[in-house]
Chain A
Amino acid sequence: EPEVTQTPSHQVTQMGQEVILRCVPISNHLYFYWYRQILGQKVEFLVSFYNNEISEKSEIFDDQFSVERPDGSNFTLKIRSTKLEDSAMYFCASSGGARGSYEQYFGPGTRLTVT
């Protein structure tokens, strides 16, 4: 069964450093998402991406965040200058259909620890 993969599984970085979280969505999916989950809290929408551009973004997704689909398979989330409060689990997801009516398939997550 196809699945979404994410690398690395755990990333430790120092405050102020840039990090890139990588995801490989399911190959025939068209919509891609990033979410974050701070330990013990709710899953928060960050951004959705379609047709090589951002479709929607939340208030959390400020100028320090960016997303890219550099080739036909990878989908990345870059955090330019990490802060302590960026420590969280980051999930990538993909979906095959339009207008939010299709279920999303989530990757296993990357745990980001900012020290």
Chain B
Amino acid sequence: AQSVAQPEDQVNVAEGNPLTVKCTYSVSGNPYLFWYVQYPNRGLQFLLKYITGDNLVKGSYGFEAEFNKSQTSFHLKKPSALVSDSALYFCAVRDFDNFNKFYFGSGTKLNVKP
């Protein structure tokens, strides 16, 4: 079965410090991986995706993610966190056999303190 896991319910980081939000995946075949962010009372917003190519993917708002096939991970990173980055972050993977079916992680709440 395909799935993603976000092992941390919450990540706390000080403004200006680097941040990492972790995601691991389990999927047969080559994964299509996505990161989305959700601000309070809003829908999810796309940040970045990995389909193929370079393992380091750059996305919106200075975020990037590194695809690591051997560790089956797709961690979200940012070199310098902002208070405005505080939100709920979701990792998602496309089902390998069913192209329009997606699995989301449980979400990680990022708290960036001034």
Show the binding face of A for B, using Cβ within 8 Å: 4, 31, 33, 35, 41-45, 48, 50, 55-56, 58, 91, 93, 98-101, 103-109
Say whether A98 contacts B99, CB under 8 Å: yes
Say whether A56 contacts B44, CB under 8 Å: no
- Which residues of A have CB within 8 Å of B32? 100-101
Say whether B41 contacts A108, CB under 8 Å: yes
Say whether A103 contacts B41, CB under 8 Å: no
- Which residues of A have CB within 8 Å of B70? none
Residues 42-62 of chain B, each 1 if its beta carbon lies under 8 Å from chain A, else 0 = 111110010100000000000
- Which residues of B have CB within 8 Å of A48? 100-101
Say whether A56 contacts B42, CB under 8 Å: no
**In the complex the two chains form, what is the Cα distance from A33 to B104 in whole Å?**
13
Given A4-B43, A91-B44, A108-B41, A101 contacting B103 (CB threshold 8 A): no
- Which residues of A have CB within 8 Å of B107? 42-43
Say whether A100 contacts B99, CB under 8 Å: yes
Residues 78-112 of chain B, each 1 if its beta carbon lies under 8 Å from chain A, else 0 = 00000000000010101100111111111100000
Q: Is the interface on chain B under 10, 10 to 19, 20 to 34, or 35 or more residues?
A: 20 to 34
**What's the nearest-Cβ distance from chain B to residue A21, in Å?**
13
- Which residues of B have CB within 8 Å of A31? 100
Closest to A42 in B: B106
Q: 22 A-B residue contacts at CB 8 Å?
A: A31-B100, A33-B100, A33-B102, A43-B44, A43-B92, A43-B107, A45-B102, A45-B103, A48-B101, A55-B99, A55-B100, A56-B99, A91-B44, A93-B43, A100-B32, A100-B94, A100-B101, A100-B102, A101-B32, A101-B51, A103-B49, A108-B41
Say whether A106 contacts B44, CB under 8 Å: yes
B34 at the interface (CB under 8 A from A): yes
12 further A-B pairs in the complex, CB-CB below 8 A; given A45-B102, A101-B51, A108-B43: A31-B100, A35-B104, A43-B44, A48-B100, A91-B44, A98-B99, A99-B100, A100-B32, A100-B95, A100-B101, A103-B46, A106-B36
**In the complex the two chains form, what is the Cα distance from A108 to B42 in whole Å?**
5
